[in-house]
Chain A
Amino acid sequence: MDINNVIPQLFTLDGFIKLIEFLIVIIQIIYCVFAFLITRQVKLMTHSFHTEASIVFGTIAWIHFLFAAGFTILSFLIL
């Protein structure tokens, strides 16, 4: 890919939309890291203090992470 062709394309509508789509996928990847950190944090918290709700929080954290990861893959494919 020639860089001299890429930069002028960013100033077209299609180029701008592509840039936005690329940024969204990058943000989603960063978000997946955050979602994974939440699962670790929930594990640490439930280990420190165990309640009836611990299993619910753990499950929610994992579903959230898996959904974030799946959605990032989906975004990568359709954008």
Chain B
Amino acid sequence: MINPFSSRLVNPRSSRYDGEDQDEQILYVLRKAFITNYKWVLITIFFALFPFLLNYFFMSVNGKTPDFIPARLIFIVNIFWYLFLFGFMFANYINWYYNIYLITNKKIIDMDFVGILYKNVSEAPLSNVEDVTSNISGAFGTIFNIGDVLIQTAGEKTEFEFHDMSNPSKVRDILSDLVMEERKKHGH
């Protein structure tokens, strides 16, 4: 069972991407560190508690003036509130889950989905990777060991940026080793 909050998967056997070659194998699936989702998680928790306050208000109003606010309206508002909250949470979660960076035995792939209506996929062969840099900046990054990995390539898209990676030095090391192997294979 794969951890649904994992930001790094190694050799995911059952995963495949659109455009994968027959002899290609996904070695790593990388996502932003899950803790970078804290904003929408906190918003969800806050708004999940909000109806308790609202219902207390409704009850106090109806206690003084019975049927001031119809019970059917309170019921509909409550259910719809949680439905909306679930939709908000689900949309944010899948957005995180599918915004991935793939490292295969042949390529690096950057798959971006922005909001619910935009998709962008970039890829570069490992043999085109020229330089890999990692950096960690700010208090948040330093505390949680989260940073970016910048990959310079020779090609149309000259720079790949893997943002908010957990342990970016490890990612840089993995990529550098794979690039070295690929170069040895091709006799560079």
Contacts and interface: CB of A to CB of B under 8 A. Distances in A.
Interface of A: 13, 17, 20-21, 24, 27-28, 31, 34-35, 37-38, 41-42, 44-45, 47-53, 57, 60-61, 64, 67-68, 71, 75, 78-79
Contacts of B119: 44, 48
Interface of B: 2, 4, 12, 14-18, 68-70, 72-73, 76-77, 79-80, 83-84, 86-87, 90-91, 94, 97-98, 100, 102, 111, 113, 116-117, 119, 121
A57 B18 CA distance: 17
B76 A38 contact: no
B15 A37 contact: no
Given A38-B91, A41-B113, A41-B117, A31 B14 contact: no
Given A38-B91, A49-B98, A68 B18 contact: no
B60 to A, nearest CB: 17
Nearest to A72: B80
A49 B102 CA distance: 10
A45 B98 contact: yes
Consensus secondary structure, chain A interface: helix
Contacts of A45: 94, 97-98, 113
B70 A17 contact: yes
A34 B87 contact: yes
Contacts of B15: 49-52
Given A38-B87, A38-B91, 13 more contacts: A17-B73, A27-B80, A31-B87, A35-B87, A38-B116, A44-B119, A48-B121, A49-B100, A52-B14, A53-B2, A64-B90, A75-B80, A78-B72
Given A17-B69, A52-B14, A78-B72, A61 B90 contact: yes
